[in-house]
Amino acid sequence: MTVPFLDLQAAYLELRAEIGEAMDRVLASGWYVGGPEIAGFEAAFAAYCGAGHCVGVGNGLDALHLALRAMNVGSGDEVIVASNGYIATVLAVSMVGATPVLVEPDARTHNLDPGRVEAALTPRTKVILPTHLYGQPADLDPLLELARRYGLRLLEDAAQAHGARYKGRRVGAHGDAVAWSFYPSKNLGALGDAGAVTTDDPVLAERIRTLGNYGSHRRYVNEVRGVNSRLDPVQAAVLTVKLRHLNEWNGRRAVIAGHYRTALAASGLELPFVPDWADPAWHLFVVQADAREALQAGLTEAGVQSLTHYPIPPHRQQAYRDLALPAGSLPVAERLAQRVLSLPIGPHMSATQVDAVVGAVATAMQRRAA
């Protein structure tokens, strides 16, 4: 038996008829940029998130960078981001000319540690930018409190957290703005690149829309120097279909995560920690292991695909050598990068595949202990 990390083809095939109908509707409509499909998806996703507004953009990186620009963040400003996680969050800060200030995560939740943020604030700090990493909601209340106290904005990177809940309320409008990616492998994934920003702030929403449309909201009148980053109507139609299935598909992920947590409780692995206020979207199921490479090799041998999210923290990337943060300067992020391993999880995994993963982990761990 082979267990793929994620079966995107099966996701398409389950909805093939619905998706085909939606795509055909767009292709026959004559609207190939903008139009009713965009407005329809934006309204549906805003309602799903409990946000006043949703603005579709080209991808998740643009959602982050346009939200920062809309918040007037630029050269000389600082943005607080977690020192672990995906490079896009940090790149978005660089794209607006601001400086990313890397703050260590809580080693158990993998999310920005609110207790370490205050010490990193300076008069130049403009935004706190937590990621809901792996679909686990970040601890937002203390971050919101800090933002309020210091007059900062809170922008959330929710690219991995479609449908996750923080203290019972869905991620999507706790902070000033929330950035989403609909990259194909995300919980709500398009069939190509796509992204969005949700917010309760009508001014921010309008600025993001203008910035993503050449800095114009009246044709050929350009108020600011914008970019071209618009949600594609074909992708909007696909996303409208997939949004209807998101809760059910997230439910299937939660069942698998629950099974892993029970079956692997005595495996010797460090399993995901879920605070009692969190309802994760289970985008990834990330374990920590002392001998990560050996575990991964054992899984590969058993036909189980696993991935590392992420093997090199942003400050150790060549792209960020100018931050001059040598090895050892952010030890929590560096240690996580050496220990994390993502097991297969997705709405199209069979019970047999889940059992195969559990069996392969047990074999690999016993071999190490022997």
Ligand X SMILES: *Cc1c(COP(=O)(O)O)cnc(C)c1O
Interaction site with ligand X (CB under 6 A): 59-61, 85-86, 88-89, 131, 157, 159-160, 181, 183, 193, 195
Using an 8 Å Cβ cutoff, are 60 and 180 in contact? yes
What backbone torsions phi and psi does residue 340 show, to the nearest 5 degrees? -80, 145
Residue nearest to ligand X (CB): 60
Buried (b) or exposed (e) across 50-73, using 16+ Cβ within 10 A? ebebbbbbbbbbbbbbbbbbbbeb
Is the Cα dihedral 20, 25, 31, 36 positive or negative?
Answer: negative
Using an 8 Å Cβ cutoff, are 341 and 249 in contact? no
Q: 81 or 257: whose CB is closer to ligand X?
A: 81
Q: Nearest approach, Cβ of 88 to ligand X (angstroms)? A: 3
Q: 229 or 240: whose CB is closer to ligand X?
A: 229
Q: 19 or 92: whose CB is closer to ligand X?
A: 92
- Give the contacts of 123 (CB within 8 A, at least 6 positions apart): none
Q: 113 or 157: whose CB is closer to ligand X?
A: 157
Q: 106 or 298: whose CB is closer to ligand X?
A: 106
Using an 8 Å Cβ cutoff, are 60 and 159 in contact? yes
Q: 62 or 279: whose CB is closer to ligand X?
A: 62
Q: Nearest approach, Cβ of 59 to ligand X (angstroms)? A: 4
Q: Nearest approach, Cβ of 365 to ligand X (angstroms)? A: 28
Using an 8 Å Cβ cutoff, are 299 and 361 in contact? yes
Q: Specify the residue for token string 């007037």.
A: 72
Using an 8 Å Cβ cutoff, are 243 and 18 in contact? no
Q: How far apart are CA 93 and CA 63, in angstroms?
A: 12
Q: Nearest approach, Cβ of 72 to ligand X (angstroms)? A: 21
Q: Which residues pair with 170 in a beta bridge?
A: 165
Please give the helix or strand (H or E) that residue 170 lies within, else none.
strand 169-170
Q: Nearest approach, Cβ of 241 to ligand X (angstroms)? A: 19
Q: 183 or 249: whose CB is closer to ligand X?
A: 183
Q: How far apart are CA 235 and CA 190, in angstroms?
A: 6
Q: Nearest approach, Cβ of 11 to ligand X (angstroms)? A: 16
Angle at 49 between CA 110 and CA 157, to 5 degrees: 35
Q: 155 or 159: whose CB is closer to ligand X?
A: 159
Q: Specify the residue for token string 């619905």.
A: 18
Q: Nearest approach, Cβ of 67 to ligand X (angstroms)? A: 12
Neighbours of 255 (CB within 10 A): 15
Q: Nearest approach, Cβ of 63 to ligand X (angstroms)? A: 7
Using an 8 Å Cβ cutoff, are 175 and 190 in contact? no
Q: 41 or 364: whose CB is closer to ligand X?
A: 41
Q: Nearest approach, Cβ of 352 to ligand X (angstroms)? A: 29
